[in-house]
Structures are given as C-alpha cells and as structure tokens.
Amino acid sequence: MKAVVDGTVVAEAPSEELIRIEGNWYFPPEAVKTEYFEKSPTPYTCPWKGECQYFTLNVGGKAYRDTAWSYPEPLPTAFDRVGKDFSNYVAFWKFAQVLD
C-alpha cells in the first residue's frame, strides 16, 4: 500500500505490514520516507493510545501541517487492544490518499 500526498509517495509497504486502528492505516516506521517529514509541536494525547507525535509533510514546495501522526511510546494497554506493538507506526489524515 502507498500513502500519497500531492502526487508524491510518502510511505509504502505491503498491506500485511500495516496495522488498521480506528479506521486508519498505520505504516511501519521503515516504510516512511522521512525526507518529507518534520516533527510538529502540536500536542495531543489519546486516552487509550498515549502521547501522539504529529508531523508536517513538506511535499512539492508545500507544507501540509499535522498531516501524519504516530505514537512513539504507546501506553502498554494499547498493545492488548490493538493486538500488536505499533510504536512509531505512522498514519495519515484522510486527504493523504492511502492506495492499495
């Protein structure tokens, strides 16, 4: 699967390596093209997943603020709920296309 922003592939991995959480596809860290990602200072803490890290994607001369996010250190109970360790997996807002 691919995550595409403004025609640019920003993450790519076989579908069996992705994790689906609350309707969002999370890509493994090694599938992300980090040259497009910049950590954002936007704070958010999910009540069951923990502290979130947002990313601004810089693609085609445009900055897409807080377009992607991950959980660097999810709460231990979240692993039970998801069924797998999803530390540092990255998901994208809906306008970033995720294509099969």
The pLDDT value given to residue 5: 94
Q: What are phi and psi of 21, to 5 degrees?
A: -130, 125
Q: Which fold has domain 2-99?
A: 2.170.150
Residues 6+ apart with CB under 8 A from 73: 50, 51, 87
List average pLDDT for each run of 10 residues in the chain, which is 100 residues long. 94 96 96 98 97 97 96 97 97 80
- What is this structure's pTM? 0.94
The pLDDT value given to residue 97: 76
